[in-house]
Structure 1
Amino acid sequence: MSERPILSIITVCFRDAKNLAATLESIKAVKQGGIEFVIVDGGSDDGTAELVQSYGELVDTFISEPDKGTFDAMNKGIRHSRGKWVIFINAGDGIADPAAFQSIKLTEYADAGLVYGNTVYAGRGEVKPYPEASLQYGLIMACHQSMLFNRDILGDDIFYSERFPLVNEFDLVCRIVAKKHLRMYIDIPVAYFMGGGISSRISWEARRARYFYVAQHFGFRGLIMTGLESLGWLSLPARRK
Structure 2
Amino acid sequence: MKISIITVCYNSAAIIEDTIKSVIAQTYDNIEYIIVDGGSKDETLTIVEKYKEHVDVLISEPDKGIYDAMNKGIEVSTGEIVGILNSDDFYEREDVIRAVVENFDSSIDLLFGDLVFVKPENLKKVTRYYSLPKFKRWHLRFGWMPPHPATFIRKEVYNQFGLYKTHYRISADYEFLCDYSWSRN
Give the TM-score range, shorter chain. Answer: 0.7 to 0.9
* Contact 1:113 1:154 (C-alpha < 8 Å) held by counterparts: no
1:34 aligns to 2:37 (yes or no): no
Bigger-Rg structure (1/2):
1
Q: CA deviation at 1:105?
A: 2.9
Query: How far apart, CA to CA, are the structure 1 residues paired with 2:108 and 2:158?
Result: 9
Letter in 2 for 1:90: N
2:42 maps to which of 34, 46, 64: 46
TM-score normalised by the chain length of structure 2: 0.87
Matched residue, 2:122: none
2:155 maps to which of 146, 151, 160: 151
Matched residue, 1:133: 138
Tell me the number of residue pairs that the alignment of Structure 1 and Structure 2 aligns: 176
Query: How far apart, CA to CA, are the structure 2 residues paired with 1:101 and 1:25?
Result: 14
Q: CA deviation at 1:111?
A: 2.5
Q: Deviations over 1:35-86 (max 9, x none)?
A: 1000000001211111111113111111100010000000000011111110
Kindly, what percent of the aligned residue pairs are identical? Answer: 30
Gaps of 5+ in 2: 119-125
Query: How far apart, CA to CA, are the structure 2 residues paired with 1:76 and 1:52?
Result: 18
Gaps of 5+ in 1: 182-241
Which of the pair has the greater relative contact order for Cα pairs under 8 Å at 6+ separation?
Answer: 2
Higher mean C-alpha displacement, 91-100 vs 45-54: 91-100
Query: How far apart, CA to CA, are the structure 2 residues paired with 1:45 and 1:88?
Result: 22
* Contact 1:21 1:51 (C-alpha < 8 Å) held by counterparts: yes
From the superposition, tell whether residues 33 and 174 of structure 1 become closer, same or farther in structure 2 (CA, over 3 Å).
Answer: same
Alignment of 1:1-241 (within 5 A): 6-30=2-26, 32-106=28-102, 108-122=104-118, 123-124=126-127, 126-129=129-132, 130-140=135-145, 142-180=146-184
SS in 2 for 1:112: coil
* Contact 1:88 1:144 (C-alpha < 8 Å) held by counterparts: yes
